[in-house]
Chain A
Amino acid sequence: MSLIPVYRSRPSALHAARAGAGASLCGALALTGALYLHPLILSAALASVVLAGVLAGVGREIARSLRFALPFALLIAVINPLVYPEGDTLLIRGGEFLGRNIDITLEATAAGVLNGLRVIVIVTAFGLMSAAVDPDELLRMFRRVSYRSALTATLATRLVPVLARDATRMSDAARCRPQPPGRLAVARAALASALDRAVDVAAALEVRGYALGGRTARQARPWSRHDFRVAGAAVVIGVGAVVGAIAGVGSVEPYPSLQIETGGTEVVLSALLVLIALSPFAGRGARMGVAHA
């Protein structure tokens, strides 16, 4: 099973919203993770992503994203204190290696953990997007900007799982041979198979009229209540995150000694983040089908 979530249509407010709105909400949560290193705000952002995923019916997919992100986060958490000896609070004196002092400090360790948490927030936010936002609709938006690039991205999205299945099949076939071939031979054959697939897809595109290069002017689609609610939440979170960061809310200074703002503003910002991120899923307006007045 792939660790990267795959979009499936589901009855949720996030799935029902237009792709631009859904992607904006996920992007705003990822932006929050990128702008802040504050543990409370990062935790709130992560909680927002996980709860939004659960409410959108893609909890399993978010769990898979978490499993995907965790090794990277751990790597950062472990590597940072090993390679960055700054910080006043020495935890372990590790001696000298290749002319460098391997001293592990509380500040570098904390910075590593917080950066790891940041990676988790960003990866899971994109996991949520991957699981709950229709990639065709999203790429169609970009086709208006760059038709061929967006179509190429669409094809890649479509073909990556196909090629992954091809590679798995070839690996199984190698296990069935009395004398298994070398990995290089299998890799070369897998590459040739991918090229064959690419030629087949190119032929299919040709007979669907790709060379005509026409563009369809999209029909304006009326905004649904889900569109408004999800896009509204995205705008509020995105603008709030940027304004808060500029205003210095949730500032963290790891070095030389760890300083984390712990005022009420951070608590309020974190609470608002979770509430606003989950607001599209709340109330009667979030129900699928026709909302009754």
Chain B
Amino acid sequence: MREPLVVASGFGYRYPEAASPSLTDIDLEIEPGTFTVLAGVSGSGKSTLLRAFCGLVPHFHGGEATGSLTVGGLDVRDHGPGELAAVCGTVFQEPETQVVMGGVRAELELPLEHRGEPGGAVARAVEETALGLGVAHLLDRRTDTLSGGELQRVAIAAAMVHDPPLLVLDEATSQLDPVAGDELVWQLRRLNEDWGTAVVVAEHRLERCLPAADRVIAMVDGAIACDAPPGEFLEWAAAQSPAALATPAARLFSLAGLRPLPASVKDAHARLRAAPSAPTGDGPDAEVRRSRWRGLLHRNGGPAPALVLKDVWQEVEDGPVILRGVSLELRPGERVALMGRNGAGKSTMLRLAKGLDEPTRGRIERAGEVALLLQNPGDYLVHGHAVEDAGVAGVAAAGLAGREEANPRDLSGGERQRLALEVVLATDTVNAAVLLDEPTRGMDRIHKDALAARIRDLAEAGSAVMVATHDTEFAAALADRIVLLGQGVVIADGAPKEVLGGGRHFSTEVARVTNGAALLPEEGARLLGEAASLTAPAGELRAEARQ
């Protein structure tokens, strides 16, 4: 039997000046060639554990470590990140700051140069790694011309160019759109399966990684709460309250009382094939009919629009056309999810709607103030105390009462997002429209639910809310209308079921499992329950679960 790559025994760690430890009593072993997913809500200790694997904890961050942790036979307390890099490649969350050189080839050469490898060996390793990881076409590109997904793939290549047996990734897909995120996960699977590299990946969107995983380690408050294969982990996650770590398909099965819980859509389909009356998704349902009725109502009066875009064009000088004659109306109280791939024009549309930029052609009418929350919430938090940025009422509305004096930089990503939203909402009047650009990037489900609740409050207060997002689950849970942009034009505009129900990419996991009959686990479970009550096979599935 091969020696484990990672061995932790009673390992704990406390950041300098932190009141409580971030990791406590970690005992684990990671075998070579395995694919491990590290799950947990924000602040559970995932990032700290990965930073311990690569030696940044404790050498870079300082603090106090207890117990023992060895990676590739090197004790992380005795060996720094430079030495540990030989056995552990590391990729972080933020694409912009982990690629340090101006050119891709130079970026791949750098780790080997630090090791003093001979020139011939450097050239060969760069070529082979680039070809093996599918970044050869990027070798002569400047890093500032790469997309976020390309930057992350280059970062993986730079982390793997010296062929370490272990690769750790800390929410490496969180800043990427779903397409780039999926491509990255496929690349990791290839690394794991073809190269035999052990992969440890911390990720919020577990449904993306679970199909590839051999094992899931769930962390709660700095300790390992569950360490099991995906199926057993899903059972554990479903039993937690709230079930923040359960995937949508697992929640669907769990709510419907079906077992075993599926780790992938393929699994779910296989299990549902035993239930012939599973929902088919044929024909528009009540929600779609409601949406069409609403559209009719809008065209024939109804409340005056809060925001109107009329034949809006945005053409960059010497550059591409970003928006091509977009026309759109938002009514008070509407919750609209604006979707589309990167570069489709979502952010541009929000900036124009706010008035940050002027359209090159067309007209925008606003019924009142428009609030816009841009992608990076930290940009709104410019003072040293939360209360200085958002005021007492704003801090309370963000759910941070009692933490008025906290430095916004010390808040979690989700807390910063909520606080920043209150900063842009800090007016005496109700905003005609509230626009949010990718507010759920890097957020766990608990924070997403809290944000969705706040957005519903805003809509109920009379604001039209439009959220640009790649997160189909969030869009389905929040919106009563989905606008899909493609190539700068509106290519779909309708009820969530209508737009997300039949999509291949723009669809929820539950929609893929139920062939578009339901978007969310609760709704899908109800349909499955109805189907199961009529047929034996699904009933048998349920009986198996009870046993």
CA distance A135 to B106 in the complex (A): 10
Please tell me the number of chain A residues within 8 Å of chain B, measured between CB atoms: 54
Cβ of B92 within 8 Å of any chain A Cβ, yes or no, is: yes
Q: Is A178 a contact of B427 with CB atoms below 8 Å?
A: yes
> Nearest chain A CB to B59's CB is how many angstroms away?
8
Does A154 reach chain B (CB closer than 8 Å)?
A: yes
Cβ contact within 8 Å between B111 and A209: yes
Known A-B contacts A154-B101, A215-B113; the reply to A176 vs B85 at CB < 8 A is no
The stretch among B10-18, B371-379, B488-496 that forms the contact with chain A is B371-379
Q: Which residue of B110, B144, B383, B426 contacts A6 across the interface (Cβ within 8 Å)?
A: B144
CB of B56 closer than 8 Å to a CB of A: yes
- Check if B82 is an interface residue, CB within 8 A of chain A: yes
Pick from B98, B117, B423: contact of A177, CB under 8 Å? B423
Known: A7-B142, A214-B114, A215-B116. Is A207-B424 also a contact (CB below 8 A)? no
Is A177's CB under 8 angstroms from B54's CB? no
User: Which chain A residues lie closer than 8 Å to B111 at the CB level?
Assistant: 208-209
Stretch with Cβ within 8 A of B (4 or more), from A66-74, A193-201, A266-274, A280-288: A193-201
Q: Which residues of B contact A92 (CB under 8 A)?
A: none
Question: Which residues of B lie under 8 Å from residue A181 when comparing CB positions?
Answer: 382-383
Task: Determine whether the beta carbon of A136 is less than 8 Å from that of B102.
Answer: yes
Q: Which residues of A contact B94 (CB under 8 A)?
A: 200
Whole-angstrom CA separation of A213 from B382 in the bound complex? 37
Asked if B102 and A154 make an inter-chain contact with CB atoms under 8 angstroms apart, the answer reads yes
The residue of chain A having its C-beta at the shortest distance from the C-beta of B114 within the complex is: A209
Residue of B with least CB distance to A187: B382
| A173 and B145 contacting across the interface, CB-CB below 8 Å | no
Q: Please encode chain A, from 131 to 173, with 1 for each CB lying within 8 Å of some chain B CB and 0 for all others.
A: 0001111001000000000000011011001100000011011
B81 within 8 A of A: yes
In the complex, the answer to whether B159 meets A193 with C-beta atoms within 8 Å is no
Tell me how far the C-beta of B478 lies from the nearest C-beta in chain A, rounded to whole angstroms.
21
Q: For chain B residues 144-166, which have a beta carbon within 8 Å of chain A?
A: 144-145, 158-159, 162
Q: A8-B142, A192-B409, A197-B96 are in contact. List 4 more A-B contacts (CB 8 A).
A: A181-B382, A208-B110, A209-B85, A209-B115
Nearest residue, chain A, Cβ from B144: A161
A170 touches B102 (CB 8 A): no
12 A-B pairs whose Cβ atoms sit less than 8 Å apart in the complex = A134-B103, A158-B102, A177-B380, A178-B424, A200-B97, A203-B56, A206-B55, A207-B84, A215-B113, A216-B109, A216-B116, A218-B119
Contacts A134-B103, A200-B92 given; indicate if A177 touches B114 (C-beta within 8 A). no
Instruction: Using A158-B102, A178-B426, A212-B83 as known contacts, say yes or no to A189 and B92 having CB atoms under 8 A apart.
Output: no
A217 proximal to B (CB < 8 A): yes
- For residue B392, CB closer than 8 A to chain A, the reply is no
Residues of A within 8 A of B59 (CB): 206
Contact partners of B102 in chain A: CB under 8 A: 7, 135-136, 154, 157-158
Is B86 located at the chain interface by the 8 A CB criterion?
A: yes
Q: How far is the CA of A207 from the CA of B156 in the complex (A)?
A: 12
Is B90 interfacial (CB-CB < 8 Å)? yes
Q: Is the CB of A206 within 8 A of B56?
A: yes
Q: Is A293 engaged at the interface, CB distance under 8 Å to the other chain?
A: no
Tell me which residues across on chain B come within 8 A of A192, comparing CB atoms: 409
Closest A residue, CB atoms, query B54:
A207
A179 on the B face (CB < 8 A):
yes
Question: Is B112 interfacial (CB-CB < 8 Å)?
Answer: yes
A185 at the interface (CB under 8 A from B): yes
A residues in contact with B382, CB < 8 Å: 170, 174, 181, 185-186, 188-189
What residue of chain A has the Cβ atom nearest to residue B381's Cβ?
A189
State A41–B117 Cα separation when bound (angstroms): 48
Specify which of A136, A185, A196, A202 lies most central, judged by the most chain B CB atoms within 10 Å of its CB. Answer: A136
Would you give the shortest CB distance from A3 to chain B, in whole angstroms?
Answer: 15
Tell me whether B354 is interfacial, beta carbon within 8 Å: yes
The reply on A224 being an interface residue by CB < 8 A is no
Partner of B114, one of A155, A173, A213: A213
For the complex formed, measure the closest distance between the CB of B79 and the CB atoms of chain A, giving whole angstroms: 10
Closest-by-CB residue of B relative to A158 is: B102
Closest A residue to B429 by beta carbon equals: A178
B32: interface (CB < 8 Å): no
A173 to B378, CA, bound (A): 9
Contact residues of B between 122 and 136, Cβ < 8 Å to A: 122-123
B54 contact set on A, CB distance < 8 A:
207
Are B115 and A214 neighbours in the complex by a CB distance under 8 Å? yes
